[in-house]
Amino acid sequence: MPITITVKVNGPYLIAGDDVAQVRIVDPTGHPLVSAKGSGKTIALCRCGASVTKPFCDGTHSRIGFQGAEEAQRAADTSAPS
């Protein structure tokens, strides 16, 4: 399975795939960042901005009621003149 990044509804960016261990996430200086959590087949990156383990998701999005912009974007796309 190719590595896929899924924008989860009102949640993180989920990186998944058989070779997800090959994904390197680095800081601005190129220093590797390691997630403390994960199944080994997925990496969740924070999209809400509230995680205390950025860039990784720590589940805070659920507690703060994060709302992604997908619905607003979809509505804007469908109402735009063609």
Instruction: Please give the Cα distance from 61 to 58 (Å, whole number).
Output: 8
Cβ atoms of 17 and 41 within 8 Å: the answer is: yes
43 lines the binding site for ligand FES (CB under 6 A): no
- Angle at 18 (CA atoms; ends 54, 36), nearest 5 degrees: 30
**Quick check: 47 binds ligand FES (CB under 6 A)?**
yes
Residue closer to ligand FES, measured from CB, 14 or 17: 14
Is residue 57 involved in binding ligand FES (CB under 6 A)? yes
Residues binding ligand FES (CB under 6 A)? 11-12, 46-48, 50-51, 57-61
